[in-house]
């Protein structure tokens, strides 16, 4: 249960009474809440579930490390990283939707659209537009940058599942074909990484981390 | 207490038996541990301490939002963000050092240098060199990008202290002059943000969040 945080910025303490600056501070305070959104994924030592803020950090670093494997040449890494830093902000309102839960997925799109509207519009108009457009680009996978960003998002979660011996897969009785389908963005966005994922999926089935 | 995580990558499962790819995956698994490094800072709803991974995410977003206030024109935001994503990785080995603890600070430099060596050298040579050089640049505050990055690092922590009514300041009996000194990187790296910080420091003293 989330407690109430104090996130109102007094206009009379802001330099030059700037509404722009006030909005920027309020946005920064608001997004602290992403640290409370828990994913299904667990940390590698299995001590707890991962939250969406630390997940966003992890995949932003992953994007820098694996950039040479992006499907397209000359992917703009700065853009990929900004996309990944922002891509989960909607979960502040919409929560994390477990990818293998067909019911939760039903109204996910609507919930996330409303969330994007509320959260990005905390910012000054020009920044709201820029951030929202990065988020839309990610959502629609409409650019090489967005497709590579998706690949990293899926790859990190996959590694956590494999390297915790499929603890979450086993708990939810996930099967091989589901993971293969879920990992298609890796195939599209980072083909060599996909070769690794496919090998680990077979190995996971062999070792009993994942149902055949 | 950190549990043992399984982070050995089998070379025979890696595409083309690539040592490069294996190292990249091992680095990505290793840095998951930053999610266990707890800072003195608490979340805005005061429910728990912040970890260094989610902190790194938060300040990377802050850098994007406040970029127009950087002291230097034309700061390379991509470089700032990569610096901020990596700047705390040394804490995996060295832990978080509380900024107002003079004893903990004594061997901090040495501990962090050894940590940087071990952690970045998990990567392939060229990436180890690039990441290390970003970290060195941040540490020495040797560029406009590094100075702006420092400003964001300090500013976010400051906001958390102010907007939790100085809970951590009060607990450690921190005084005005200590915070003023600690916030000097904000003055250097983002002057308008510094004007705001100075106003909030006075307000914090007035409200009893911070000792005079």
* B75-132 pLDDT, tens digit each: 999 999 999 999 999 999 998 888 887 777 778 889 999 999 999 999 999 999 999 9
Instruction: Name chain A contacts of B58, Cβ cutoff 8 Å.
Output: 28, 31-32, 35, 53
Helix (H, G, I), strand (E, B) or coil at B182: helix
Least Cα distance to A197 among B124, B18, B14, B122 occurs for B14
Residue of A35, A69, A77 to mutate when probing chain B, most B C-beta within 10 A: A35
Element (H, E) at B40: strand B38-42
Q: For the packed helices B108-120 and B125-140, what is the interaxial angle rounded to 10 degrees?
A: 160
Residues of chain B with pLDDT under 70: 1-4
Q: Does B43 touch chain A (CB under 8 A)?
A: yes
pLDDT at A41: 96
Residues of chain A with pLDDT under 50: 1-2
Token pair for residue A116? 């994007």
State the DSSP string of A56-74.
Answer: HHHHHHHHHHSGGG-SSTT
Whether the CB-CB separation of A51 and A39 falls below 8 Å is answered with yes
Residues 105-124 on A with a CB inside 8 Å of B are 123
Residue of B17, B35, B130 to mutate when probing chain A, most A C-beta within 10 A: B35
Whether the CB-CB separation of B14 and A193 falls below 8 Å is answered with no
Whether the CB-CB separation of B167 and B46 falls below 8 Å is answered with yes
Partners of A51 in the β-ladder: A38
Least Cα distance to A81 among B12, B79, B73 occurs for B79
pLDDT at B2: 47
Token pair for residue A119? 């959260």
Element (H, E) at A155: helix A144-163
DSSP class of A37: -
Q: Is the dihedral of CA A153, A3, B170, B2 positive or negative?
A: negative
pLDDT at B3: 54
Q: Round to whole Å and give the CA distance between B11 and B19.
A: 7
pLDDT at B7: 76
- Please name the residues in contact with A179: beta carbons below 8 A apart, sequence gap of 6 or more: A158, A161, A169, A201, A204, A210
Partners of B211 in the β-ladder: B175
Whether the CB-CB separation of B79 and B63 falls below 8 Å is answered with no
**Residue-wise over A65-99: b if at least 16 C-beta within 10 A, else e?**
bbbebbbeeebebbbbbbbbbbbbbbbbbbbbbeb
């Amino acid at each position: 249960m989330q407690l109430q945080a104090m996130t109102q910025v007094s206009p009379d303490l802001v330099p030059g009474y700037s509404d722009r600056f006030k909005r920027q501070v309020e946005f920064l305070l608001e997004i602290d809440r992403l640290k409370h959104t828990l994913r299904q994924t667990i940390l590698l030592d299995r001590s707890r579930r991962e939250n969406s803020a630390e997940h966003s950090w992890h995949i932003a670093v992953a994007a820098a490390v694996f950039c040479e494997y992006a499907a397209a040449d000359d992917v703009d890494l700065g853009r990929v990283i900004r996309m990944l830093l922002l891509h989960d902000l909607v979960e502040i309102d919409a929560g994390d939707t477990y990818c293998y839960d067909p019911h939760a997925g039903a109204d996910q799109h609507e919930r996330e659209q409303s969330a994007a509207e509320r959260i990005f519009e905390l910012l000054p108009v020009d920044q709201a537009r820029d951030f929202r457009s990065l988020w839309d680009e990610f959502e629609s996978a409409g650019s090489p940058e967005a497709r590579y960003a998706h690949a990293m998002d899926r790859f990190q979660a996959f590694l956590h599942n494999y390297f915790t011996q499929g603890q979450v897969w086993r708990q939810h009785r996930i099967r091989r074909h589901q993971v293969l389908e879920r990992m298609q963005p890796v195939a599209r966005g980072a083909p060599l990484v996909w070769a690794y994922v496919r090998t680990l999926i077979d190995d996971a089935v062999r070792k009993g981390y994942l149902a055949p």
